[in-house]
Amino acid sequence: MSAAPGIHARLQLARADFVLDVDLQLPGDGVTALFGPSGCGKTTCLRAIAGLERARGAVHVNGDVWQDDARRTWVPTHRRALGYVFQEASLFAHLTVQRNIEYGWKRLPAAQRRVSLEHAVELLGLSALLARMPQLLSGGERQRVAIARALGASPRVLLMDEPLAALDAARKAEVLPYLERLQRELRIPMLYVTHSADEVARLATHLVLLRAGRVLAQGAPAALMARLDLPLATGDGAAALVHGRVQAWDAQDHLLTVGFAGGRLHVTTPHARAVGEEARLRVLARDVSLARSPPQATSVLNVLPACIVQIAPDAPGQVMVRLDAGGTALMARITVRSQRELGLAEGETVFAQVKGVALAD
């Protein structure tokens, strides 16, 4: 294993119910999501990278060697340039928001400070909260303070262990835009543990699927989410990720038009977006129906020609259909009867009627 740019982790650690055995070659920037069911090894992997668990192997982060058993190298956690955000904010109850944020920053030599406290506070929208005590904060505010405290250590990598899992939907919606902003403006790589497909769709630039302590697959989220042999592409939550650019905004109808390789999609949203801006869309397979010919006089605004790439069994009485729309993967979850009566087979051209589209970003 080299110390080249990127995050490289080869780790082995026995647990009571599984053995963590991974060899990760991750990008040195962006958001890498570690995704899988509870007990698959996501948190164990993150803790081993942080040095909180003593696994066998090696950990290199953008040229820094934190562990290399072959060379008898081990850097303790407190000397690794990382920030760690837990599921619970775990703020110091006796310290104000400002003093919580300053905690790690004050312990760092001035020459190693790459993130100013002022910048962290501004990025996370905490200026009005600095004098408050943690018990007076909402759940979302506490997590934002925890993230700012982690940034105070000027980390080379930010490790986030299901940071939104303890929040309700409203508080999650409050925090997510701040995470996106952090990635855009600070360019600090994040390893993000989650079991939420929504968070993967919105945040991830690289995806690692784990099962029973081993890597099931890794790569671009859009590609993995549409692979019918992987668990993300099954059930009610199966969805395709579409990358495009805003072509138009209709203020009267609150309708956004997003162009992508396979055509364009219309999305209802109360918020305007600038023409030319990048957009990430999530299209649930259950919201896509298929037709042999272009539908006439339909209320569905989004109709796209597509080619059937693969058909696989899903739930009883249903199949999942992978589609190619101009090079972009889509999926449709339809009944076995519909497949039979339409005579659908791989390689045929159909028209995908997309009843619902959501902005993932």
CA–CA separation, 317 vs 258, rounded Å? 33
Q: Output the pTM of the full model.
A: 0.90
Dihedral angle computed from the Cα positions of residues 265, 266, 271 and 274, in that order, rounded to the nearest 10 degrees: 50
pLDDT, tens digit (0-9, with 9 covering 90-100), for 23-32: 999 999 999 9
pLDDT at 2: 46
pLDDT at 4: 62
Angle between helix 139-151 and 97-106 (nearest 10): 20
Structural domains for the chain: 7-219 (3.40.50.300), 239-359 (2.40.50.100)
pLDDT at 184: 86
Q: What is the pLDDT along the chain (361 residues), one digit of tens a residue?
A: 445 689 999 999 999 889 999 999 999 999 999 999 999 999 999 999 999 999 999 999 999 999 999 999 999 999 999 999 998 888 999 999 999 998 878 777 776 777 788 888 998 999 999 999 999 999 999 999 999 999 888 899 999 999 999 888 898 988 999 998 888 888 899 999 999 999 999 999 999 999 999 999 999 999 999 999 999 999 999 999 999 999 999 999 999 999 999 999 999 999 899 999 999 999 999 999 999 999 999 999 999 999 999 999 999 999 999 999 999 999 999 999 999 999 999 999 999 999 988 888 7
Tokens of 61: 């982060």
Q: Tell me the CB-side half-sphere exposure of residue 60, using CA atoms within 13 A.
A: 19
Cα radius of gyration (the chain) = 23
